[in-house]
A and B are shown apart, each in its own frame.
Chain A
Amino acid sequence: MKEFKVIEVKRSILEDNDADAAKLREELKAQGTFLLNLMSSPGAGKTTMLKRVISMLGDELKIGIMEADIDSDVDAQAIAEAGARSIQLHTGGMCHLDAAMTRQGILEFGAEDLDLVVLENVGNLVCPAEFDTGACRNAMILSVPEGDDKPLKYPLMFSVCDVVLINKIDVLPYFDFDMEKCKEYIQMRNPKAKIIPISARTGEGFMEWTQWLREEAAAWTK
């Protein structure tokens, strides 16, 4: 008869990932690469936004894009045409990226010579927020057609973001979207989040957004 004994563990499941993520951040700091984790619902405008950022910052910063999306071959091509390097990560059909997968991606990418790497996380608003990827900053894109009450429905996502982009503001007149309410809901969940309304189509708001990126990347890599 086997003698089983009870061993108290009392450890959070995310603990080892959190430690791993902290380590990855140190490695990124040491090699001078600023990694931005970008989250959103599908179709919020990540690719369109990134193309514009690449064209605006491409002369100052060496930019790379890591795609975690399941079938985003088209995106990789769009990014290459805009003038940045990109790779496809292998998530094995998982609904989120953890720090180990992100490190693997950074290694495969050979990101040492890159100043700014954007990780396009898997397109959902629940799971990615729970797993720290090891990125230096977290951003999300919320687009006008998704509704101003999104921060109420996905509080965790908003609470982990350093910056929230509200995209597609060119279509504001056609939607019942209350910008002030939306900002208030975001601030309720996360008073420190920076909120930048943009239109990836017209370029509105991109001076402020690229300035944020420029400053954050400079502060990180100096």
Chain B
Amino acid sequence: MHELGVVFHVIKMVEEVARENDLTQVESVTLELGEVSGVIDSYLENCWNWAVKKQEKLLREADLIIETIPAVTYCEDCQNLYGTIEHGKICPRCKSPHTYLQQGNEFRIKEISAC
């Protein structure tokens, strides 16, 4: 269960931010999640909902909001940018395998709404 481990990391970070900013209640946490970050949205939400119920007041009612970042791959041979999900590792224009992921494996806390 990768997602559950990840949820605990998110909770730890939110607690830190709350401490730094003297927050007592979090309304929502917004994550930026790359399409190929390896984390599955729906599992993540389930794990979140389960885990926050066990937390102190700070997080008990917090919603999780997920913003998806599309995966884009760059081809070194023909400088083409293309969708990673549709085409994978081989450039659809020149068939080169010399490509790398430009964006899409992000996993960040964007912001939290709290008081």
Task: Tell me if A127 and B2 are in contact (CB < 8 A).
Answer: yes
**A94–B111 CA distance with the chains assembled, in angstroms:** 27
What is the 8 Å Cβ interface bit string for chain B, positions 77-115, against chain A (1 contact, 0 not)?
Answer: 000000000000100000001100000011111111111
Which size class do B's interface residues fall under? 20 to 34
Task: Tell me if B1 and A7 are in contact (CB < 8 A).
Answer: no
**A62–B10 CA distance with the chains assembled, in angstroms:** 38
Say yes or no: is A73 at the interface (Cβ < 8 Å to chain B).
no
Residues of A within 8 A of B4 (CB): 94
Task: Tell me if B109 and A13 are in contact (CB < 8 A).
Answer: yes
Task: Tell me if B6 and A13 are in contact (CB < 8 A).
Answer: yes
Identify whether the interface residues of A are mostly helix, strand, loop, or mixed: mixed
State the total of A-B contacts with C-beta under 8 angstroms.
79
Q: Which residue of A lies closest to B97 (CB)?
A: A188
Residues of B within 8 A of A5 (CB): 113-115
Find A9's partner among B89, B106, B112, B115 (CB 8 Å cutoff).
Answer: B112
Say yes or no: is A222 at the interface (Cβ < 8 Å to chain B).
no
Task: Tell me if B89 and A6 are in contact (CB < 8 A).
Answer: no
Say yes or no: is A8 at the interface (Cβ < 8 Å to chain B).
yes
Task: Tell me if A8 and B110 are in contact (CB < 8 A).
Answer: yes
**A13–B3 CA distance with the chains assembled, in angstroms:** 12
A133: shortest Cβ distance to chain B, in Å?
13
Q: Which residue of B lies closest to A3 (CB)?
A: B115
B50: shortest Cβ distance to chain A, in Å?
14
Task: Tell me if A152 and B114 are in contact (CB < 8 A).
Answer: no
Find B38's partner among A6, A7, A11, A130 (CB 8 Å cutoff).
Answer: A130
Mark A residues whose CB is within 8 Å of B. Answer: 2-17, 93-96, 98, 126-127, 130, 152, 155-156, 188
- 9 intermolecular pairs with C-beta atoms under 8 Å apart: A4-B114, A6-B112, A12-B107, A13-B6, A17-B9, A96-B5, A126-B2, A127-B2, A130-B38
